[in-house]
Chains A and B, each alone.
Chain A
């Protein structure tokens, strides 16, 4: 090969005769052979044959449908009691002006609700409060916090980003600053079964990493909720932030305007048909923005709380894959195409164009 080319070089190189003496240059410019540069790397070139298509769809169906079923079962195992109490806890005479009722600090906002346990609930039973139409994800709200201040006592005066809840009127920094902390949820619940108090364990409801690393053990609330602007709950100034689990839970802002947050755990089993009396302090103002408040008692499964959506979605996708597999099989049986059949090449299909 090389000889051949060399000979033709002698035969037809350009007319000037100045081609000689360029031998060293030739070698230097010659690209080096490698499979990579010649685009000849070994490659796997899978073909989507009908067999593959049908088996892929079947396989997805086989995997997805059982997952869907298991998820649905898990969801059905969860027992959930939801009590919508915001309107019920307003005295009859105040229903026209709920906001005024809420803002009147003098009124006693205690309210008693009775919950019926429909199914056996094994401990731990989680107690949630659920708010509707509350934009915890609003940009102004989400940004209004300062992680550095929450974490270490030395940064107490670090309130950047906490607008408009940075400092008190006289300029001293608020700890914890920002709208999120300021609007901390402050309804409280206590449970009784018959005459017996059911203890609500409020320890360990927040994320461990938050307690250990994000909310300082030596950071104590300061100047919090002592101005005229009263939003949410007050914090015990003698408890460090890492122990204020309600705050920690609240500070994990929810993604949607409807959200649940963990209030505590009931560590006794509840039997079906038990009645639970809830004494709650209806302090939190959701009335001005027409938000609803719900109290939720729920067990969990391995998949979490009660939600059929996952199972249904899995069943839908799995089901449609089965359907597709069947459809492709039928179509394939009715009108098969031989793979690699040259009659499908464009020049064979429309010879006139070519």
Chain B
């Protein structure tokens, strides 16, 4: 099997490539024959600090001993191991202030200072901490499993004697020689020795490292080329001296000593872990860095632990409660000190004079007693701080995360990946997102190109619509059928060919754009969605310009750098192309009947199929020169000699570049083609223009000598010379046509962006791609549209090498920003939308300290922001700028390792898990497999989780205040002595058992509106973004409610149980009876309260709320039946005293009702006169008005969206506005009889 690659003829790519294989002088020198002196001189700077690593190739055993004992390839990203788990996890737990407080309280509980028994302090704490630690352990275990999956991957490793066998990744050591096959990941950082290509080239996909999708060419040293099969490694030895492990991905310094000669190494020989071998059948490499020494692992930063805003606010509330606690304790201990000093001496029944040595109750030292009492009070009123809040929230969040993981509507059938909440800390943050920062490739697009349309000789071909067009048409159709109110007043914008969403109406906009919506036929061929019979099956022969069309196809088939590969199963060819565009072209050419089938060192063979002959004709095109694509040139050309001996230059490139290089008589189709190019651009397609030039023999040979001179030149300006040479020949071109390739958006991206925009979210695109591509995608996903004012920020196009170049550029950028801000300020049209497109270089300046706020305010004013050519670091910086500059919640979404920085920096990081790289997912907080699931994740889960957590926290504070303060009131009646009116056990159970489950069920199951409604009314999302449910007003309201309840509970009980008998039998109530009754009241009141808070009752909530109350009575019964030594005064209390007393039941009913009265009034009033959106929607749903009055329902749905300037809706709106504008001028000329359609046109 490893031999198959060898079947293919070996190509020496270095001969074909012009630019990317530029060799350093020493290697060129090495071509001529290694020169020892030069190599040695180069190796001189190496020894020194930071370059101490020595690798003995093919001698892994040498690396098991010191000093070459480097770490193995085992990776571990876990936080703990078995030994460190306990101490570390416990330490983590007690870093929380609240937990530390409870720990101190638990420690003090063994002394007599504590008002409670030790068990009542320690048990809840142990429970709470134990649960949190169990969760930590579980999460760490998952990480471990994930690591082991990677560690247990297998790679072919040289075992000695030229035999290779599979070895687990984690067993690979430095010095091992490994063989990596096509499409495999490199297990460690390798030094490339040789590859399936004769000259040691290989292609590497580094998407996981830097997110760049184009393949990179790596090249081995000449000296290692002979090691090209398994056996040759039998006696291979060499020594590598190189730099120490470091995180820099693009540098490498070292040398290789082989047979006593030293060769310098550079980054082009290094294959990094987690990148992937592409287009190359196999490579051999020697391991230089393993495990955590590899560049990618060195780059891995520990993901910062993120906390949601709600939790941060909750912490502040806890601090407030701490303050209240301290205050209350101070009052209490002051009262105690005064009482002790002034009154206690006369309380003979306490034997004040016989104070024990602890000074706890010593009238002679009231100050000291007061201080001791302060500690007591701090513990006693600790119930103000909900100990179980953190753990309850954690439980709730884990369950919420489970719902996210289990959501079938976020499960991707294609990749088989469900959505995953990787941390559950941020669930509620999902409901408050303001800005989404998105990566492009792999996130918005699938990095797959589809040949869709073309323009040849001024004729447009290709009938299929791009996804953008399809979606736009659908949108229009649904707008039309749903909110067709504007259609009333005789205004007829479009012919209505059908109705309803998903049907296939043909919509004709007045502008004359016809888009046909058909059931999108699944493209049978990957990369080819072209549909036009005029060009297929050889029909092109009967088109007006068959010659040009032929040329067009030939350019597609010949002008590229791809390699064909025979698919043995189907007999067809697949192409290994450097960029997906090229692949799409070749597939297209094949489908048109020009199948590229073979490439040799000098020729390209194309099988041309004509309708006239049954058998395809194989033609040979001699490739004389290849001037390949790079981002600076933006074009590629080949010089060929066809079978007739004709010399041709075939060129494809960016339209602007090509148009500049056309000859006078080559501009025949320019006008038509550029019109088509505009249309394609508007439809979100990537375009390239194709051109050719006939060369005269003499002209060519003159140029070729010039070119060869440049190619063999040495020195730094070699590249410039080459470019100049290329420039000379790539001119006087004749335009043939243009191609339009769809950079396939991931499914549902435009719709999702539209919905997110309607939910009030801002979307920024940060991409490493070049500006044109980014803008195209901007159009494709409706982030940009025609009529939007584009502000492009890029540095001046001058390459100043002067000293103050930086300054000049910076001033230029500054000026651009100021101008743009000015422009926006002066804009008067309310519908005007601006788009900011900024280039990576400009961003470097814009992100500088003095300019960034100006930049941010400009960016915030723009409807959409696209940053192109940004480095991973800049992505993170932009994210930080938005996060800190606006103070709003940011969400970063991306799929590659280049997005890791941004994912970690943002408040929420989302990773796309569909693709193979796991870097982004590993760093993310949530992973989804498609961008479109973001909508559901935010609008449904985010909305729910936010409301749930917010309500839950508020309720928590309420119940603990209601409970905790009753303890304080009671103190005033006990001379502030620190006695609690409740039994210790009641208090343990209060938070842990009796009130915890209903609140957890609130946090897990509450739904204000169903998921469909959430999606239908994106504006509901703003309730979270505006933080309506966790603002101070609401928090203080709940606290006041708690205060009121505590007053009611305490004073009603005290008043009712005052001194008189509470039973027919004449007994009066003692402390146990009053305490228990009061506690019963609390349990009933708070559980009733939570029932009022909920709006969604499944059997679970019902069982839990009633169950909590029932549990209390059952507990009381059981506790009363236990030994009196355990239960004390509560012994048989319920059975003997409370249950037979009507007053006990009467008080419970009274207090529960009285406590909930204000809240009931509040919600009744609010719903009646100031209903929030979800209230109204609940009512509509409840009365099934949505079914009865569907027009109203769809109207509201279309209105329930944030005013948005991006997305389809905005696009459609803009279109309608435009048409209306036209119409208005018509109508106003008819004056007077304008009938405006029913409701006010706030859609517009």
Contact = CB atoms under 8 A, between A and B. Distances in A.
Contacts of B254: none
A320 B1199 contact: no
Given A47-B1179, A303-B1142, A320-B1157, A6 B413 contact: yes
A105 interface: no
A29 B1019 contact: no
B522 A253 contact: no
Contacts, number: 340
A257 interface: yes
A298 B1063 CA distance: 12
A251 B350 CA distance: 14
B1016 interface: no
Contacts of A173: none
Interface in B261-306: 276, 278
A313 B1150 CA distance: 8
Nearest to B1185: A340
B1062 A305 contact: yes
Interface residues of B, number: 129
A25 B416 contact: yes
Contacts of A328: 1164, 1168
Contacts of A87: none
Interface in B774-817: none
Given A2-B413, A262-B1066, A347-B1200, A317 B350 contact: no
A194 interface: no
B1061 A126 contact: yes
A22 interface: yes
B1055 A309 contact: yes
B850 interface: no
Interface residues of A, number: 124
B158 interface: no
Interface in A115-164: 124, 126, 128, 130, 134-135, 137-142, 147-148, 151, 163-164
B700 interface: no
A15 B1019 contact: no
Given A43-B1098, A48-B1164, A256-B1054, A38 B408 contact: yes
A186 to B, nearest CB: 12
Given A8-B414, A41-B1099, A288-B348, A255 B1201 contact: no
A96 interface: no
A90 interface: no
Interface string B1169-1186: 101110011111111010
Interface string B1046-1079: 0000001011111111111111111111110000
Contacts of B1203: 354
A16 B1070 contact: no
A279 interface: no
Given A38-B406, A39-B403, A304 B1061 contact: yes
B975 A310 contact: no
A77 to B, nearest CB: 12
Given A64-B1153, A317-B1153, A209 B1068 contact: no
A237 to B, nearest CB: 22
Given A347-B1199, A347-B1200, A337 B1146 contact: no
Contacts of A135: 347, 350, 974-975, 977
Contacts of A134: 349
Interface in A327-351: 328, 331-332, 335, 337, 339-342, 344-348, 351
B1098 A42 contact: yes
B23 to A, nearest CB: 30
B411 interface: yes
B633 interface: no
A147 B1124 contact: yes
A53 interface: yes
Contacts of B403: 37, 39
Given A8-B522, A44-B1097, A126-B1066, A317 B1154 contact: yes
B915 A14 contact: yes
B328 to A, nearest CB: 17
A171 interface: no
Contacts of A47: 1178-1179, 1182
Interface in A36-74: 37-39, 41-50, 53, 56, 60, 64, 67, 71
B60 interface: no
Given A47-B1182, A179-B350, A314 B1096 contact: no
A192 to B, nearest CB: 22
Nearest to A9: B414
A11 B526 contact: yes
Contacts of A124: 1066
Contacts of A137: 973-974, 977, 979, 981, 1071
A101 B1099 CA distance: 70
A163 B356 contact: yes
Q: Closest 6 CB pairs between A and B?
A: A305-B1060, A26-B416, A340-B1179, A183-B349, A252-B1070, A37-B406
